[in-house]
Amino acid sequence: MIYWVGAAIVNRVPAADSALRLTNFSNIVVFGAYATYVIMTVMMLVMIIMRMPAAQVSTQRISEILETEDSLQEDSRTEAPKVGTVEFRNVSFHYPSSGKNVLENISFQVQRGETVAFIGATGSGKTTLVSLAARFYDVTQGEVLVGGVNVKDYTFDARYDRIGYITQKAMLFSGDIIEQGTHEQLLAKGSFYADLYNSQFEKAS
């Protein structure tokens, strides 16, 4: 619209007055550029206003997550009388959002070196049961013992040293071992990881 009106203005200037035609043309181009900047700014402002409600809701949710207190508290136990044993004693569990038990009166014991498979339909509580052994949740009733000690009695580090958890969804990370952590971090995990790190470093060099 701006350039259409501008073209009409330039055409009204006599062809012999080239200086005036060039001046009008230049003014119209500059005016069109400034008008474009103003329109773009208004469009950006409209987009910001449209996204503000979503941003406010997201900010509120992030604040709720940051202010949430951890319901799992560690104790002071670091040692265990047994090695490699897992035991459930009359364990029942329901999620905080539901009053119905997902697991009820579960009892079993796994000795070191044994392999146990939990078989059941989707939603029967297999993943929940394993999550209780790793203490992702606290049981509603009963006890979960690892190494003969209730998992609630361990410090977090002591519990992590005794439980390894592999999810049913395979996750492959890009890169190599060198990119996954520093030398000091790998050494802290033990000589096995240090050897792997050194071998990868030699190949890379």
Counting every residue, how long is the chain?
Answer: 205
Task: With a cut of 70, list the residues of the chain below it in pLDDT.
Answer: 1-7, 10-11, 15-17, 21, 168-205
Q: Give the pTM.
A: 0.53
Phi, psi dihedral angles at 103 (to 5 degrees): -125, 145
Query: What is the three-class DSSP state of 181?
Result: coil
User: Distances from the Cα of 187 to the Cαs of 62, 118, 131, 203, in angstroms?
Assistant: 35, 35, 28, 18
pLDDT at 23: 78
Round to whole Å and give the CA distance between 134 and 116: 15
Round to whole Å and give the CA distance between 86 and 131: 13
Place of tokens 């989707």: 122
pLDDT at 110: 92
Phi, psi dihedral angles at 196 (to 5 degrees): -60, -40
Phi, psi dihedral angles at 110 (to 5 degrees): -120, 125
pLDDT at 16: 67
